Amino acid sequence: MLAVDMAGDAVKAKNGSMVAYDGQMSFKKMTGGGEGLRGMVTRRITGESMTVMEVRGQGTCFFADRASEINLVALRGDKLYVEASNLLCTDAALRTGTTFTGMRGAAGGNGLFTTTVEGSGQAAIMSDGPAVVLRVSPQYPLSVDPGAYIAHQGDLRQSFQSGVSFRTFMGEGSGESFQIRFEGDGVVYVQPSERNTIGGDV
Amino acid sequence: MSGPVVLDPMTLPSDDNVNKYTYCVELRGDRWFLQKGRMIAYYGQISFDGVGHGRFENLLRTSFHSPLHVADWVVAQGSGKMLLADRAFDVNSYDLDEGNLTIRSGNLLAFQPSLALKQSIVPGFLTLIGTGKFVAVSNGPVVFMEPPLRVDPQALVGWADCPSPCHHYDFGYMRGILGGVRAMTGIGGASGEEHQFEFVGAGTVLVQSTEVLMPEQPTGAVPGEAGVPGGGYQGGQQGGASGMPRLGGQLGDLQRRFGL
């Protein structure tokens, strides 16, 4: 559960994720995630839909969603890439948008697009079990299972690795045929659980 | 807020838990067996291959002994560190030293090839024999207990170095006509604890702290021979259509209880 102390300021949170509050709060549904008309259209087209509400007021507000773990990420002018379904709450000052991810998203069952969070402030992301934060540096690239990936941050290039061979079709696949390879400088968040993915069984 | 701990290949533990739900294995040119789809991330050069690969024939002979369930296992080899996790369940590693351990098939996550994996004659269980490390998952932390002991069937994870368990039924609940009605219908109150597994002898029993079972992994079929438990061979049994052996009139059908 995430507790947010507010003094007249606002946060953006996933619709319906408030579980309790004390003090004075007002909740407002933000059409299109506060990204304006263009953002709204982009989200509709890309399928990376996200229903967001704006919470404003005085006091403490508690957010939670399906008892999943919540990880706080501090942003200082950099960009966080996260799946819309894993994003719980952000400071109102942070800008959200969508970006193209290519094959990675398709194999992960998350669609071809992902959500970005930019600016300075804090974002709360959700994971099934506490997330493990892994650093990627030029000499240590990292490979991640698409089903366990939740978010990444920093200057990272991602490429898609596939180990599919004729054995995969003979029922002798390794179960780890698809991986996302991260190179560059940044951190990657993985969860100790795998979503059901198309790539998960081959 | 102190911020999350950021891990890199230097700070990741070697062959130890990262947190309760994630385990890190360090490979230095050696191999590990893991269940399909349990790797979540890795650093370094590691390749994953189905165990059925031709070049693992030798490994198969020394570590599996049975070609029947190898399709669910993957060989990881190379050098680097990899993270293992399973549906956010608790993960723990255990060392086996010239020993044997029998574990529920769904709970075994990964093991070193120095251990041999065999099918247990108890259906749904696997036995590890030898010296080495293995990683197991459980629903909640595992408690180690020593026999003599009776364990709820759903809480049992595995047992090491002790004779195989037997069934134990609560005699008072199962006796006579009333007991039979109670056991079959639940009328008159059933505690839900009429049946346990009983362990005797020297060894260790692993018990998980919930009664929610992990999904079973197929362990492979056994040959349908006479005398093989779970082999589906019914010859010479008294039990009739259900195929269940009878317990000396105590658990029989109702008509038996009335002496018909």
In order of start, what are the domains of chain B with their CATH numbers?
16-138 (3.60.160.10)
Cβ pair B43, A150 in contact under 8 A: no
CB pairs under 8 A between A and B: 122
Q: Is B136 exposed, middle or buried, given 0-12, 13-18 or 19+ CB atoms closer than 10 A? A: buried
Reported as a single tens digit per residue, the pLDDT across A126-141 is 888 888 889 888 888 8
| ipTM for the assembly | 0.72
What is the distance of C-alpha B108 from the center of its chain?
6
- The confidence score (pLDDT) of residue A31 equals 62
Check if B49 contacts A (Cβ < 8 Å). Answer: yes
pLDDT in tens, A142-199: 888 878 888 888 888 877 766 554 444 444 445 566 778 888 888 899 888 876 554 4
**β-strand pairing of A95-100 with A149-162:** unpaired
pLDDT of residue B239: 39
Residues B228 and B234: their CA atoms lie apart, in Å, by 10
Are the C-beta atoms of A62 and A19 separated by less than 8 Å? yes
Q: Each residue's pLDDT tens digit in chain B (260 positions)?
A: 345 678 877 788 888 888 888 889 888 888 888 887 788 888 888 888 776 555 566 666 666 655 555 567 788 888 888 888 888 788 888 888 888 888 888 888 888 888 888 878 887 788 888 898 888 888 888 888 888 888 888 888 888 887 778 888 776 655 556 656 665 665 555 556 667 888 888 888 888 887 776 666 666 566 666 666 665 555 444 434 444 444 444 444 554 445 44
Tell me how many degrees the CA angle A132-A137-A139 measures, rounded to the nearest 5: 125
CA atoms within 13 A on the CB side of A168: 14
User: What pLDDT does residue B44 have?
Assistant: 85
- Tell me, letter by letter, the H, E, C secondary structure of A57-83: EEEEEEECCCCCEEEEEEEEEEEEEEC
List of chain A residues whose C-beta atoms are within 8 Å of the C-beta of residue B83: 132, 134, 190
Q: In chain B, which residues have their Cβ closer than 8 Å to the Cβ of A137?
A: 8
Provide the residue type at A52 as one letter: V
Taking CB atoms and an 8 Å limit, are A172 and B71 in contact across chains? yes
Who has greater pLDDT, A56 or B252? A56
Cα–Cα separations (whole angstroms), residue B228 to B225, B234, B235: 6, 10, 12
Are B41 and A144 a contacting pair at CB < 8 A? Answer: yes
For residue A200, the chain B residues in CB contact (below 8 A) are 37
The SS3 of residue B136 is: strand
Q: Helix (H, G, I), strand (E, B), or coil: what is residue A89?
A: strand
DSSP for residue A140: B
E strands, chain A, in order: 2-14, 18-30, 52-63, 69-82, 87-91, 95-100, 113-127, 132-136, 142-144, 149-162, 178-190
Nearest Cα neighbor of B108 from B77, B72, B82 is B72
The CATH class that applies to domain A2-201 reads alpha beta
Q: Please state which of the ranges A25-34, A51-60, A163-172, B176-185 shows the lowest mean pLDDT.
A: A163-172
CB atoms within 10 A of CB A166: 7
Cα-Cα end-to-end distance for chain B: 75
Largest CA distance in chain B: 75
Strands A113-127, A69-82: pairing kind? antiparallel
Contact of A180 with A144, CB cutoff 8 Å: yes
Residue B76 β-bridge partners = B32, B48
Q: What is the pLDDT of residue B74?
A: 80
Of A73, A74, A175, the CB nearest to B36: A175
